[in-house]
């Protein structure tokens, strides 16, 4: 009973309502909050720093792919070329 009472108060903003709860409104409110939580998760995941490739593994992988395969279109060839010509900074610049 205690858990039910606490969850009821949390769900209703610590207020006791006289009217019966509208299930549709509750479902909509819950879905709205689920969407907000998902958006926040996506934002937090996007903020995770991406590390540097200190071993040049991505560059070496691109070399292997480019030497053993033929690009299927112009954009794929361009992306391979961009990856191979990109200068990666292995150490942070002082500034």
Asked if residue 82 and residue 71 are part of one domain, the reply reads yes
Q: What range does the domain containing 79 cover? A: 51-87
pTM: 0.40
Residue 94: is its pLDDT beyond 70?
Answer: no
Residues 57, 76 within the same domain: yes
Residue 44 lies in a domain: yes
Residue 41 within any structural domain of the chain: yes
* CA–CA distances in Å: residue 25 to residues 6, 14, 18, 36, 54: 20, 18, 16, 17, 52
Question: Has residue 9 been placed in a domain?
Answer: no
Separation CA 92–CA 54 (nearest Å): 11
Choose between 66 and 36: higher pLDDT: 36
Same structural domain, 80 and 55:
yes
Residue 55 domain-assigned?
A: yes
Domain count, the chain: 2
Over residues 51-65, the mean pLDDT reads 75
In a domain, 93, yes or no: no
Please tell me the number of Cα atoms within 13 Å of 35 on its side-chain side. Answer: 6
Distance CA 32, CA 29 (A): 5
């Amino acid at each position: 009973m205690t858990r039910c009472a606490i969850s009821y108060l949390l769900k209703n903003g610590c207020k006791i309502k006289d009217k019966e709860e509208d299930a549709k409104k509750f479902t909509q409110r819950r879905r709205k909050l689920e969407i907000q939580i998902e958006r926040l998760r996506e934002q937090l995941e996007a903020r995770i720093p991406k590390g540097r490739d200190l071993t040049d593994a991505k560059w070496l992988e691109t070399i292997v792919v480019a030497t053993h395969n033929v690009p299927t279109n112009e954009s794929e060839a361009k992306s391979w070329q961009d990856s191979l010509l990109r200068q990666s900074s292995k150490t942070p610049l002082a500034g």
